[in-house]
Amino acid sequence: MANLFYATIVMLLGSGFFSATEAAFFSMPLNKAKIATNQKKKGAEYLLKIKKDMRPTITVLVVFTNIFNIAGSIFVGTMAAEIFGSAKIGIFSAVLTFLVIIFAEIIPKSIGETFAFPISIFLAKPFFYLTKIFTPLIRLIEFFTSPLPKKRKTVSEEEIRTLSNIGFLEGVIEKDEKEMIHRVFLLNDLETRDIMTPRTVVTAFEGSKKLKDLENEIYSLSHSRIPIYKDNLDNIIGICHQRDLLISFSRGEKEKTVSELANREVIRVRENKKIDTLIPIFRKTRCHLAIVVDEFGGTSGVISLEDVLEQIIGSVVDETDRTESLREKAKTELNDKK
């Protein structure tokens, strides 16, 4: 009877150990393993190697778990049949199955998930070498399973949105952080035409105009960057900064034309260009204003870096900024025409 008891305990402990280890390795994030490796924690380098390719280690864990579950059950069942006889073996099997589910599956896997980091980093080195020892067996198993399709795990936008909502509900992230995460995913759904300032309300100067002729307009500008054109808005020749115009005024250079103070580098983007592709363009060129052109190359409007960032952080219109009202005005005029 004592031997049956000890055999059952060994079976449960063995199966539980490998179940807990499997859960720990699965629950351990790859990024956390990389951080531990950078911090030179003991065993972290082996853990990182395991996480980069989990299949061999998981194969070994599954094999040993099933050895304890199947072979152990057969061995314990044989002993129980000799002790209790065939009449009570059914009852013993039911009890043993219950014990395996609780003490070899549920509890160990819960422990493995809860203490994933300490368990996985402690057992990483021995399991790394154990996997090397059983390489022939692993290759054999992979040979039989190779025809099966292997699908890589991917994380969808919807899953990240859901996780951010859960994080907000649990108090892990703030409401504004959650909203910014959601807005980021809208960037590749929006096109430049959706957030640009239409040409009908764009403030621009004719390049041949002298500063003295535009003095009142310059002082009353609500935008810091102004497109400069030649003949008409479809021929933008540069972008001028209000600061440069005011500096010229202070120096008494009122006879200068605005084209002389304009930056000749003009960024042009299509109306259908995705918003998320604009940020790298603004960063690379160090220009914060782009001219939006239609399919014929004509000017449709302008878009700024601020317009793009507002899609992530929300409106940043201040008490002197008329951007929102201008857009609403343009939309109203367009609707009236229709």
Distances (CA, A) of 175 to 38, 179, 181: 32, 6, 10
At 121 the pLDDT is 92
- What is the pLDDT confidence band of residue 126, given thresholds at 50, 70 and 90? very high
Centroid of chain to Cα 102: 37
- What is the pLDDT confidence band of residue 32, given thresholds at 50, 70 and 90? confident
Q: What is the average per-residue pLDDT within 104-129? A: 92
Under DSSP, is residue 33 helix (H, G, I), strand (E, B) or coil? helix
Please state, in angstroms and rounded to a whole number, the distance separating the CA atoms of residues 302 and 195.
9
Kindly give, in sequence order, each residue whose CB lies less than 8 Å from that of residue 72, ignoring residues fewer than 6 positions away. Answer: 7, 10, 11, 14, 15
% residues pLDDT > 90 (the chain)? 15
Over 80: is that where the pLDDT of 325 sits?
A: no
Kindly give, in sequence order, each residue whose CB lies less than 8 Å from that of residue 223, ignoring residues fewer than 6 positions away. Answer: 203, 242, 323
Please state, in angstroms and rounded to a whole number, the distance separating the CA atoms of residues 109 and 176.
36
Q: What is the overall mean pLDDT for the chain?
A: 83
More confident position, 265 or 257:
257
Instruction: Enumerate the β-bridge partners of residue 299.
Output: 293
Q: What is the average per-residue pLDDT within 24-28? A: 89
At 254 the pLDDT is 85
Query: What one-character DSSP code corresponds to residue 256?
Result: S
Instruction: Enumerate the β-bridge partners of residue 227.
Output: 239
Tell me the pLDDT tens digit for each residue of 4-15: 788 888 888 988
pTM, entire model: 0.52
At 203 the pLDDT is 86
- What is the pLDDT confidence band of residue 293, given thresholds at 50, 70 and 90? very high
List, in order of start, the domains of the chain with CATH numbers: 2-145 (no CATH), 192-337 (3.10.580.10)
Tell me the pLDDT tens digit for each residue of 148-171: 555 555 567 777 888 888 888 888
Over 80: is that where the pLDDT of 334 sits?
A: no
Tell me the pLDDT tens digit for each residue of 213-261: 888 888 888 788 889 999 889 999 989 888 888 888 888 888 888 888 8
Over 50: is that where the pLDDT of 189 sits?
A: yes
- Residue 321 — φ and ψ, nearest 5°? -85, 125
Over 90: is that where the pLDDT of 122 sits?
A: yes
Over 80: is that where the pLDDT of 318 sits?
A: no
- What is the pLDDT confidence band of residue 338, given thresholds at 50, 70 and 90? very low
Transcribe 175-189 into DSSP letters. HHHHHHHHHHTTTTT
